[in-house]
Structure 1
Amino acid sequence: MKKVRLTTILVIVFISLTAISCKNAKKENTHNDATHSEMNPDKMNKSKDKMDSNTQNSDAQKVLADYMALKNALVETDKDKATKAGQKLMNTLSKFDASSYTAEQQKELKDIIADAKEHAEHIGRSAMDHQREHFKVLSKDIIDMVLITGTKDTLYQQFCPMYDNNKGGAWLSMNKEIRNPYYGSKMLKCGKVQREIN
């Protein structure tokens, strides 16, 4: 009987801490949004290793557009839409032309694209939970790609600390406002902006 009570208390404490964590993350995110443009400590410095955003490869732009469509489908918890978006992204990744990049960048992009294609393919034929698992790794690939290709638009790398048994999961968005693709409407606003990429 004591074990049951202790387990119940632990569960209640965990749920309370989880709710507080998301609420605090939301407050912190709101505070960051207000001061972000003034201080902007997370804003990335221009790197000589990536292309100027004005000359960003159009293939990279297409990949980002398809990635955003997939992310939005996961936010909506729409399995069919996510399946189609995953298949479209896989096709776009297959056509990615890295010839305008340096030899070192081409090698890195080849590895990134190969891994991203594999995860997009799985998303194109999996259940929602598995789609989200593959989206976590796919997001890392797309973030790595953008760090090489640059971006013509400001992107926001966002993070949910609770996803994957509190290991967390990152994703890219074109808006500062949090729309969580890992939980959809269950915890739509749980997360924070980690940095701006532009």
Structure 2
Amino acid sequence: MNTVADLILAGALAAVWLAAGLLADRLPAARSARELRRRAGSLTVLVVAGASVFVAVPVVTGLVPGDSAAPSAALASAIPALIVLTASLHLLGRVRRGAGAFVSAPHTPVPPGLRAAAAHPLMLVPLQVTALATLLGLPIAARVVEVPGADLAGIAITVVGVAVLAIGVRAALRHSRLSLLALAPLGRSRPRVPANIR
């Protein structure tokens, strides 16, 4: 297999997961329950497409004769993609079902609790880390970086580690802020004592 074919496979994988990571970041910003449900549905489709492309990479490289770097490039995103498929997809389904509860009133603003659920770090972080890892696979597919034993690999792992930490902290702070907004009405409301009890 040639480098162009490897880049096409790695590029398709990166494109799908990058789209999923960007859409996941915009998920809590939905203005209505219908929009949140639509975005959650689109994100589910992108996750399934990303998993399909991930499975297609070794199948295609196995069918085409010659040496290929595409499986090594795809392997960089294997662990975060597995977390997406086991944990994030479950949370995404809960958000979609929660937004679907407002199907009779589609223009209802997104409730704060549902918005906080849409910003859950266990959903956002694995999606965005998978997108970042697929980008890391592009120089491997282009054969710019040889795996294993390249000096650039150590630098790339350090950069990705810092980026993962930044994504995690950002997602945790965002979820915490939205969770506090969901609890704020409870703190502000005071129970009213009926007049006949006073």
| TM-score, normalised with respect to structure 1 | 0.43
Q: Which has the larger radius of gyration?
A: 2
Using CA pairs under 8 Å that are at least 6 residues apart, name the structure with larger relative contact order, 1 or 2.
2
| TM-score, normalised with respect to structure 2 | 0.43
Q: Which has a greater percent of helix?
A: 2
Q: Which has a greater percent of strand?
A: 1
